[in-house]
A and B are shown apart, each in its own frame.
Chain A
Amino acid sequence: DVKVTQSSRYLVKRTGEKVFLECVQDMDHENMFWYRQDPGLGLRLIYFSYDVKMKEKGDIPEGYSVSREKKERFSLILESASTNQTSMYLCASSLQGASTDTQYFGPGTRLTVL
């Protein structure tokens, strides 16, 4: 079974802090994704990566950056956390990014910024 793990289920940070959210997949997938999920807004894509060191902006990249130094690991970085970044963050991976590919999701990290 594909496994996508996220470093924390719950995280509380203060405004202005630098925040790292880590995601690891164990199936040698090429593509990895970061989404945020807010009530009434569904899932929105922040960034995705289709190869090591490659990244593409999603629909809402402002205030975020990403890093993919190794194939299995994709990090989401909040350079200076703000209260409007309080949200559920979901990581996903897929084999190659083909139109038929399945995305496998991690359990999510609920981030609260005070």
Chain B
Amino acid sequence: DAKTTQPNSMESNEEEPVHLPCNHSTISGTDYIHWYRQLPSQGPEYVIHGLTSNVNNRMASLAIAEDRKSSTLILHRATLRDAAVYYCILSAYSGAGSYQLTFGKGTKLSVIP
């Protein structure tokens, strides 16, 4: 299984940018990089995904290293609502005509008012 490595926890001040790193040195050429987050007492929710190029959406930006062995989720301006556990995940083919997401332990982001 393709694995990812993330810091256990990070802190950010409110209204400042946050860069959440992820290492995935064993990534294969067809693996997409997905980010999900889990707010307290809720199920995970999709944030963003990408393959090679940097990606932007209304929630965040995803910067992918040229060798694809690492990526960074960027929250441009952290709010208290962004306090959550952030998961960096590689999609993996399950062999049953479907791709799975294997969740690790994620990074717990705390936002300081």
| A interface residues, Cβ below 8 angstroms from B | 4, 31, 35, 40-45, 48, 50, 54, 56, 58-59, 90, 92, 96-108
Find A107's partner among B43, B96, B97, B101 (CB 8 Å cutoff).
Answer: B43
Q: Give CA–CA (A58, B30) in the complex, Å.
A: 21
For chain B, the count of residues having a C-beta within 8 Å of the partner chain is 25
Residues of B within 8 A of A97 (CB): 94, 97-99
Q: How many A-B residue pairs have CB under 8 A?
A: 64
> Beyond the given A92-B43, A101-B99, could you list 7 further A-B residue pairs with CB under 8 A, ordered by the A residue number?
A43-B44, A96-B98, A99-B32, A103-B44, A106-B43, A108-B42, A108-B43
- The dominant DSSP class at the B interface is loop
B102 at interface, CB cutoff 8 A: yes
Residues of B within 8 A of A (CB): 30-32, 36, 42-46, 49, 87, 91, 93-94, 96-106
